[in-house]
Amino acid sequence: MFDASARESISRIARNIGVEAAALLAVADVESAGKPFAMVNGRPMPLIRWEGHYFYRLLPPDLKNAGVQAGLAHPAAGRIPNPPSQAARYAMLERGKAIHEEAALSSCSWGLGQVMGAHWRTLGYPSAQQFVAVACSGIEGQTEVMSRFISKNGLTRHLKNKDWVAFARAYNGPAYKMNRYDTAMGRAYIRYLNGVPPPEINAPVLVEYTPSLSEYTAAAEPQFSMQIGATGPAVRELQEAIRRAGIFVYVDGHFGATTQQALMEYQRRFGIAPDAIVAADTRAQVTGGHPDASAPWWSKRSGGTPQATKQARPKAWFDASSKKTPWWGA
């Protein structure tokens, strides 16, 4: 997640385009993995990705062969690999600029939103160089580029509606489902709300957001999941129980690899099969007994008052079908 300074910068841009700060933070977080800069030659630079098929397409005909011979251009997407380090990617960019500067700058995706430089004209910049100058000016510059792309393409309405499927489809392209961008953005949105979803997000499809183990019932077993990727108060409750047992784990409400290992040690200590899954036997140990089976946790409001279980289901904040294969199991 971004630090406080980065959050404030992104939040200011979010307010300028009329969307909730947590929503724009979620997009930036997923696109950049929460990392706004990389050190390149001693300078903090925005993250980039080289797209060789763009370079091939944008090069003038008499320079295409030079791009191919340099190993920087190819007519098919994905045929020019990106090196793992940002320094090496910037080195590729410099080699491309030596062949054709505008085409090279346009053939990278830039910054928090990973916006292609090729969009510089449609986003209202006078040149590819000016687009890149803004992207390199700091975190607000990166966010400005991203927000312009979102606004120019009519995507603010999807962010306002928290329609992550529609947003990811438009922003990330047809492969969004394979990469589960919609699910990742939805989860990031919840994290930037400090793990507390708004009242309208109150449906069983949010299986990775578990309010409390004490509100869980065995009848909900098919819908319940707390494994790697889970977030929410129930995860914090589990982590606190593990800490009380004398096993170190961060109490942060996020079920990551450290929590998984600590949970397996906890299960072994209490004679439970160490499968790192919070099933009925583990929940009983954590809560000190079998939880109340009066109503499933998703039928209760935040105050715990039971609701009618056949209430109208609110609009899911991501495509529920994506839950068939968890993103962390891909």
- Looking at the structure, tell me whether residues 224 and 153 fall in a common domain: no
Confidence category of residue 322, pLDDT binned at 50, 70, 90:
very low
Among 125, 146, 162, identify where a domain stops: 162
Higher pLDDT, 135 or 185: 135
Domain co-membership, 53 together with 131: yes
Q: Which of 242, 233, 231, 244 is nearest to 268 (CA)?
A: 242
Quick one: average pLDDT of 292-300?
32
Name the band, by pLDDT with cuts 50, 70 and 90, for residue 327: very low
174 domain residue, yes or no? no
Of 95, 105, 109, give the one whose Cα is nearest residue 67.
Answer: 95
Q: Do residues 113 and 227 share a domain?
A: no
Q: In whole angstroms, what is the distance from residue 106 CA to residue 132 CA?
A: 9
Q: Are residues 291 and 231 in the same domain?
A: yes
Domain span holding position 291: 213-307+315-325
Average pLDDT score over residue span 156-161: 92
Q: Does 96 lie in the same domain as 8? A: yes
Q: Three-class SS string for the chain?
A: CCCHHHHHHHHHHHHHCCCCHHHHHHHHHHHHCCCCCEEECCEEECCEEECHHHHHHHCCHHHHHHHHHCCCCCCCCCCCCCCCCHHHHHHHHHHHHHHCHHHHHHCEEECCCCEEHHHCCCCCCCCHHHHHHHHCCCHHHHHHHHHHHHHHCCCHHHHHHCCHHHHHHHHHCCCHHHHCHHHHHHHHHHHHCCCCCCCCCCCCCCCCECCCHHHCCHHHHHHCCCCCCCECHHHHHHHHHHHHCCCCCCCCCECCHHHHHHHHHHHHHCCCCCCCCCCHHHHHHHHCCCCCCCCCHHHECCCCCECCCCCCCCCCCCCHHHHHCCHHHC
Q: Is residue 195 part of a domain?
A: no
> Does residue 79 fall inside a structural domain?
yes
Whether residue 212 is predicted with pLDDT greater than 70 in this model: the reply is no
Mean pLDDT of all residues in 198-222: 43
Are 28 and 157 within one domain? Answer: yes
Residues 33 and 101 grouped into a single domain? yes
Of 145, 162, 179, which closes a domain?
162
What integer pLDDT is reported at residue 1 of this predicted model?
A: 75
Spatial CA neighbour of 162 closest among 138, 189, 136, 144: 189
Position with higher pLDDT, 330 vs 60: 60
Query: Which of residues 98, 132, 162 is at a domain's end?
Result: 162
Say if residue 62 is in the same domain as residue 146. Answer: yes
Question: Any residues with CB less than 8 A from the CB of 6 and at least 6 apart, and which?
Answer: 36, 139
* pLDDT in the model for residue 303: 37
Is 245 contained in some domain?
A: yes
Whether the pLDDT of residue 42 is over 70: the answer is yes
Are 112 and 232 found together in one domain? no
Q: 152 and 14 in one domain? A: yes
CATH number for the domain including 235?
1.10.101.10
Q: How far is CA 112 from the centre of its chain?
A: 12
Per the model's pLDDT, the better-predicted residue between 149 and 295 turns out to be: 149
Lowest mean per-residue pLDDT among 40-54, 79-93, 259-273:
259-273
Using CA atoms, how far apart are residues 321 and 298, in angstroms rounded to an integer?
Answer: 18
Full-model pTM: 0.60
**pLDDT band at 198, cuts 50/70/90?**
low
Dihedral sign for Cα 272, 273, 274, 276, please: negative
For residue 159, give both structure tokens. Answer: 């962010």
pLDDT at residue 17 in the model: 93
Show Cβ contacts of residue 157 under 8 Å, excluding neighbours closer than 6 positions: 163
Asked whether residue 264 is assigned to any structural domain, the reply reads yes
pLDDT digits (tens, 9 = 90+) for 238-261: 888 898 888 888 777 777 778 888
Q: Is residue 233 part of a domain?
A: yes
Q: Is residue 202 part of a domain?
A: no
Same-domain check for residues 218 and 158? no
Residue 151 reports pLDDT greater than 90: yes
The answer to whether residue 191 is domain-embedded is: no
The number of folded domains in the chain is: 2
Give the percent of the chain with pLDDT over 70. Answer: 75
The verdict on 108 and 252 lying in the same domain is no
Looking at per-residue confidence, does 203 or 116 come out higher?
A: 116
Measured between alpha carbons, how far is 161 from 220 in angstroms, rounded to an integer? Answer: 28
